[in-house]
Amino acid sequence: MKYLLAIYGDEKAQENIPPDQQEEFMAGWFKFDEELRSSVNVLAGDGLQPTGTATTVRFKDGGTVTSDGPFAETKEQLGGYYLIDVDNLDDAIKAAGMMPNLPFGGSVEVRPVQVFEQ
Amino acid sequence: MSNTSAVTERVFREEYGRVFATLVRVFGDFDVAEEAIQDAFLVAIDRWPDSGVPPNPAAWITTTAKRKAIDGYRRERVRAEKYAVLAGASSNGHQEIDILEDSSLQDDRLRLIFTCCHPALAIEAQLALTLRTLGGLNTREIARAFLVAEATMAQRLVRAKRKIRVAGIPYRVPPDDLLPERLAAVLAVIYLIFNEGYSASEGDDLIRHDLCAEAIRLGRVLIALMPDEPESRGLLALMLLHDSRRDARISSSGEPMLLEDQDRLLWDRSQIDEGLRQLTFAERRRRPGQYQIQAAIAGEHAQSGTPDQTDWPRIAMLYGLLTKLNPSPVVELNRAVAVAMAMGPEYGLEIIDSIRDELDPYRWMHSTRAELLRKLGRYDEAREAFLHALELAENAAERSLLNKRLHEMEGTSRGAR
């Protein structure tokens, strides 16, 4: 089954991590990425630029409206994702549980990918 | 005739979980299994009065249900093929179903328990699914037991079954690395079902007592399936020991009775014996846990002929162990009571004062404090604490009990002055 692991965290708190710890934090991600790809089938995975760089597109009065900022202002922001293919939810939860942002108060939302029967 | 229908009903209640668990494994779908089992029981209700009850009713139901489900699949396949022809596409059909594979029946129920109590499901959904699939209670019964509308409960069950299917919650006994965490979740669900029935302050009491009986039955199933888990046995012991007091807990006028005021002759002796036996069995494994310790505490009370004979120092020690394992201000409050009984009210009061702020919204903290202050002759403070507890009381029965204690004290304190 395919699952999207949506990685959430508090951007502001992450920006405030001192540089030396920042490096350590990133090293944690690289190590995790390597481990994950060697243990499960990773279809895609990326980190995202902060929500300050986000642009939202909506439809209004018959035309598209483009505006600055994320879809919604929330306490935690989407910061990255993995798309994995594993046997069941437990395997997806296990992969999510290894994410290095969790000890820093982040969270991972595990969502099954919708399958359309042909 | 009515004898047959009584047998059918008994088979339904007793065998539902077993049959359902097997059908879920075979068909991989809760809804298909549920429909098949209903169909099979309809056939039983129709045929058994004439043909008599088969020698192994559960096996008969399982076989009939499988046949019904396969008929359903065939009909669907025919429909799908017709549709495919119309659509000009080729049909994949359904996977062949191995209906001969019927081994490890016990594992099926264990798989089912772990699936229903998966932490990815909301706790209310876990409770409802467990009662529905393993207990064979219908939606209306579960809704009444949890005091929600039937439509709400039906919705809850539909959503939970959908999540199991769509999110890929596995139908299996968890691997060793997940087992301790998942077993704890299963035990918690069974204990919540029990407490839902045991601490019923409103609703239909009869149905609520059914929940206690159902939780005990589930506890027994779990032990039959995993006999080496001491905490499962500890939980069963705990439930049996608590439930043994059910007839003494409510006075003839419907008021809740404190442990010390209960008529101990009303306690169910054989259930106490069984609870103590299960506890001894669990303790032999030398892997203590919160349920075993709570059962040991309940066991101490159960073995005391009168309140005065209670071994309070041992109970205080057991609560101390429980606090270390599972720190919580409510456990600490219970320890305070035991310490007060063992060493004197002033020592209990000292513990309560250390958790007073944390437990300020908790009515039993105020009533317990009131009792200890009364014993120390500090009547003004006791009155204030009683009044505080009264403000927080949740129902008429609690208020009437608190008022009674307050009036008793006013009598004594006037006498003392």
HEC per residue, B37-104: HHHHHHHHHHHHHHHCCCCCHHHHHHHHHHHHHHHHHHHHHHHHHHHHHHHCCCCCCCCCCCCCCCCC
**pTM recorded for the entire structure:** 0.79
Average pLDDT score, chain B: 86
In chain A, residues with a C-beta closer than 8 Å to the C-beta of B169 are 88-90
Least confident of B79-83, B127-131, B264-268: B79-83
CB neighbours of A47 closer than 8 A, spacing ≥ 6? A29, A79, A80
Give the model's pLDDT for residue B391: 94
State the nearest Cα–Cα gap between A8 and chain B, in angstroms. Answer: 18
**B152 or B138, greater pLDDT:** B152
Q: Report chain A's terminal Cα–Cα distance, integer Å.
A: 16
State the nearest Cα–Cα gap between A95 and chain B, in angstroms. Answer: 13
Strands of A1-118 (E only): list them. Answer: 2-9, 41-47, 55-60, 63-68, 77-85, 107-112
Give the model's pLDDT for residue B206: 54
Q: Does residue A8 sit in helix, strand or coil?
A: strand
Q: Which residue of B has its CA nearest to A111?
A: B167
Percent of chain B with pLDDT over 70: 90
DSSP H stretches of helix in B356-395: 363-375, 379-392
Give the model's pLDDT for residue B101: 40
Contacts of range B36-39, beta carbons closer than 8 Å, 24 or more positions apart: B36/B65, B36/B66, B36/B68, B36/B69, B36/B72, B37/B61, B37/B65, B39/B64, B39/B65, B39/B68
pLDDT tens string B294-316 = 999 999 999 999 999 999 999 99
In chain B, residues with a C-beta closer than 8 Å to the C-beta of A92 are 168
Burial B280-312 (b: 16+ CB within 10 A, else e): ebbbeeeebbbbbbbbbbbbbbbebeeeeebbb
pLDDT tens string A58-113 = 999 999 999 998 888 888 999 999 999 999 999 999 999 999 999 888 999 999 99
Give the model's pLDDT for residue B95: 36
Question: How many interchain CB pairs under 8 A, A with B?
Answer: 24
The identity of residue A51, as a single letter, is T
pLDDT(B276) > 80: yes
Contact A112 B120 (CB under 8 A): no
Would you say B276 and B266 are in contact if contact means Cβ atoms under 8 Å apart? no
Contact B170 A92 (CB under 8 A): no
Contact B168 A1 (CB under 8 A): yes
Contact A112 B167 (CB under 8 A): yes
Domains observed in chain A: 2-112 (3.30.70.1060)
**B414 or B203, greater pLDDT:** B414
CA distances from B320 to B235, B324, B356 (A): 19, 6, 18
Would you say B106 and B227 are in contact if contact means Cβ atoms under 8 Å apart? no
Give the model's pLDDT for residue B85: 54
State the nearest Cα–Cα gap between A77 and chain B, in angstroms. Answer: 22
pLDDT(B96) > 50: no
Q: Which of B377, B375, B379, B402 shows the shortest CA–CA distance to B391?
A: B402
**B102 or B187, greater pLDDT:** B187
Give the model's pLDDT for residue B341: 95
pLDDT(B293) > 80: yes
ipTM, two decimals, is 0.85
The identity of residue B28, as a single letter, is G
Distance of alpha carbon B331 from alpha carbon B352, whole angstroms: 11
Place of tokens 């395997």: A91
pLDDT tens string B183-241 = 999 999 999 889 888 876 554 555 577 789 889 999 998 998 888 899 999 999 999 99
Give the count of beta carbons closer than 10 Å to the beta carbon of residue A41.
11
State the nearest Cα–Cα gap between B210 and chain A, in angstroms. Answer: 33
CB neighbours of B117 closer than 8 A, spacing ≥ 6? B126, B130, B182, B185, B186, B188, B189
Distance of alpha carbon A46 from alpha carbon B277, whole angstroms: 57
Task: Mark out chain A residues that contact chain B at CB-CB < 8 A.
Answer: 1, 3, 87-90, 92-93, 110, 112, 118
Give the model's pLDDT for residue B287: 93
Would you say B159 and B120 are in contact if contact means Cβ atoms under 8 Å apart? no
Least confident of A51-65, B70-84, B136-150, B248-262: B70-84
pLDDT tens string A36-66 = 999 999 999 999 999 999 999 999 999 999 9
Contact A88 B120 (CB under 8 A): no
CB neighbours of B166 closer than 8 A, spacing ≥ 6? A112
Tokens matching residue B295: 């059962």
> What backbone torsions phi and psi does residue B55 show, to the nearest 5 degrees?
-60, -35
Among candidates B89, B166, B170 on the partner chain, residue whose Cβ is nearest the Cβ of A112: B166
State the nearest Cα–Cα gap between A37 and chain B, in angstroms. Answer: 21
Tokens matching residue B143: 């809704």
Among candidates A3, A89, A118 on the partner chain, residue whose Cβ is nearest the Cβ of B169: A89
Distance of alpha carbon B222 from alpha carbon B130, whole angstroms: 12
Tokens matching residue A14: 């992450």
Q: Which of B19, B67, B72 shows the shortest CA–CA distance to B43?
A: B67
